[in-house]
Amino acid sequence: MSNGQVPERESFTTTLGVLAATLGSAVGLGNIWKFPSMTGQNGGAAFVFVYLICVAVIGIPLMISEFIIGRRANANNVGAFEKLAPATPWYLTGVAGVAAAFLIMFFYTDVAGWVYSYAFKGLTGGLTHASSTQTADIFSKYTGSVVGPLAWQWIVLVVISVVIIAGVTKGIERMTKTLLPVLFVLLLLCDVRALTLPGAMAGVEYLFKPDFAKITAPVILAALGLAFFKLSVGMGAMTTYGSYMGKKVNIPSNAIKVALADTLVSLLAGLAIFPAVFAFGFKPDAGPSLLFITIPAVFQTMPFGQVFMTMFFLLAAIAATGAMISLLEVPVAYFTEEKHWSRPTATIFSAGVMGVVGSLATLSTSTLSKTLVFGKTFFDLFDFASSNILLPIGGILICLFVGWKLGPVAAVDEASNGGTLRNATSLKVLIILIRYVAPIAILLVLLNGLGIVKI
Ligand code: TRP
């Protein structure tokens, strides 16, 4: 297709590379930190049940929609809308996505810094023989300090900037292709260890035996927000990656594989954490600290605990890095292509803003812990505003764009590679999901969850 694209635009070179890169975006702290902590805070299996429905009915169609927009336009998140709907306000969807990327990175780099520092502590023996009260102390002392967390946040930003400056194929593709299998193996090892503990079954039941009375409007909004955050949809990360996909890539199949694999990683993380939590009599609803207090404590009480724990945090650091690369790539692609900045300038500027404003999130656990905006710390505000507001709104707009503006004919053409994929019947279902089911469901969940309407 010739649509005036820049000829030297990079792209992912192999089908496996595409899968690895998109999966590398999806798999991250969402699986290892957010999924377990939110599951624990929202009552266990019932939340997981709603989450799975959100992934299937809303997440997958949305991911396919983003791939369609990106590949069809072969441009960054803003340029894509300008190309497919010239001289309309649709490009604002792309601008909102760039804003969402910053908002997410403000707190994501903070948590990633915690994870990096715990991996480092594990490697250097800093958590050896710490009991559960000690691990809680270590965590609150760490997050309550100023220099350490800020330094680690900036180290994280430097690491991902280096990868991003190296460029799409060399940086992102090579890194995720190598790291994902390592991550998977490490996670399986942690699972075996957790599941063979006496009393592990209580954790398995907590994760898989739903108590449907626990499903309320805010719980559904939380599950939906997590589905967006998990699958990296609603803000154009997948649009940007879609634009690096070759014309032969099977878009729907790639999206389904990514969603399945990502969900598997979340469940494996849950299976590494909850059985151990119950086996040792901890509480599952510790929230964001679950990973950092419970996991070290749990691992310390096992044979080879130090080794397993270090592996666990290394794994989390690897996953977080792949996800952040996709987040940083959104503004970088925008600034290089729309504003004609060089790749290093765009990267250093974006990472700089993320570091400076992101400090507000990092300081939310220390000097700024009492500074509340809309009743939330900066950390919680960035988190809530991105996952539970910006991503769902972006998701509605993306579905409406593909379903109504770009239209079913073009969407089906792109999702079937010009009719060569023979997936016409499933695409009929997909179009119904994109045009009606997903946007209406997102809107209802959003309005209900925010308490604006009550059904
Ligand atoms: N999906 C990633 C995770 O679970 C986070 C992430 C990466 C993301 N890119 C995104 C979230 C884009 C929303 C939008 O950790």
pLDDT in tens, 29-69: 999 999 999 999 999 999 999 999 999 999 999 999 999 99
Q: Which residues, in sequence order, are CB contacts of 416 under 8 Å at separation 6+? A: 422, 423, 424, 427
Decide which of 169 and 202 is more confident: 202
C-beta of residue 74 within 8 angstroms of C-beta of residue 246: no
Q: What pLDDT score was predicted for residue 171?
A: 65
From 109, 230, 315, mutation site for ligand 1 pocket: most ligand atoms within 8 A of C-beta: 230
Distance from Cα 120 to the centre of ligand 1, integer Å: 23
Instruction: Please tell me the distance between residue 63's alpha carbon and the centre of ligand 1 in angstroms.
Output: 12
Q: How far is the CA of 394 from the centre of ligand 1 (A)?
A: 14
Q: Is 147 exposed, middle or buried (0-12, 13-18, 19+ CB in 10 A)?
A: exposed
pTM for the model? 0.91
- Residue with CA nearest ligand 1 atom 9: 232
Residue in the block written with tokens 């309005």: 447
CA dihedral 61, 180, 104, 454 (to 10 degrees): 40
pLDDT at 13: 67
Closest Cα to atom 6, ligand 1: which residue?
232
Which residues lie below 8 Å from residue 275, measured CB to CB, with a gap of 6+? 194, 195, 197, 199, 200, 201, 202, 203, 204
User: What is the distance of C-alpha 340 from the center of its chain?
Assistant: 28
**Which ligand 1 atom minimizes the distance to the CA of 320?**
15
- Is it the case that residue 205 has pLDDT exceeding 90? yes
Give the DSSP per-residue string, 219-255: HHHHHHHHHHHHHT-SSSHHHHHHTT--TTS-HHHHH
The label of the residue with tokens 């900045």 reads: 341
Q: What is the mean pLDDT of residues 75-92?
A: 93
* Average pLDDT of the segment spanning 74-96: 93
b (16+ CB within 10 A) / e for 235-267: bbbbbbbbbbbeeebbbbbbbbebbebbbebbb
For residue 193, name the pLDDT band (cuts at 50, 70, 90). Answer: confident
pLDDT of the residue at 170: 65
Q: What local confidence, expressed as pLDDT, does residue 377 receive?
A: 95
- Report the residue among 63, 65, 179, 229 best suited for mutation to probe ligand 1: largest number of ligand atoms under 8 A from its CB: 229
CATH topology of domain 15-449: Hydantoin permease (1.10.4160)
- 55: nearest Cα among 419, 395, 398, 306: 395
Reported confidence tier of residue 448, pLDDT bands at 50, 70, 90 = confident
* pLDDT confidence tier of residue 2, bands split at 50, 70 and 90: very low
pLDDT in tens, 118-139: 999 888 877 766 666 677 788 8
Instruction: Return d(Cα 96, Cα 390) in angstroms, integer.
Output: 8
Could you give the percent of the chain with pLDDT greater than 90?
61
Among 18-22, 124-128, 170-174, 373-377, whose mean pLDDT is lowest?
Answer: 170-174
Cα 24 to ligand 1 centre (Å): 9
Per-residue tokens: 256: 């389904």
* CA of residue 237 to ligand 1 center, whole Å: 8
Average pLDDT over residues 206-225: 93
Tell me, what's the pLDDT at 118?
93
What integer pLDDT is reported at residue 1 of this predicted model?
36
Q: What percent of the chain has pLDDT over 70?
A: 94
Residue with the bigger pLDDT between 318 and 239: it is: 239
**Cα-to-centroid distance, 71 and ligand 1 (Å):** 20
Give residue 166's pLDDT.
83
pLDDT at 244: 86
Q: Ligand 1 atom closest to Cα of 228?
A: 13
- What was the pLDDT predicted at 3? 44
Smallest CA separation from ligand 1 atom 10, residue: 232
Average pLDDT score over residue span 139-164: 93
Which neighbouring-strand residues pair with 373?
Answer: 376
Ligand 1 centroid – CA 430 distance (Å):
23
| Residue 422 half-sphere exposure toward CB, CA atoms < 13 A | 0
Taking the centre of ligand 1 as the mean of its atom positions, its distance from the CA of residue 201, in whole angstroms, is: 30
Ligand 1 site residues, Cβ closer than 6 angstroms: 25-26, 28-31, 104, 229-230, 232, 235, 237, 323, 326-327
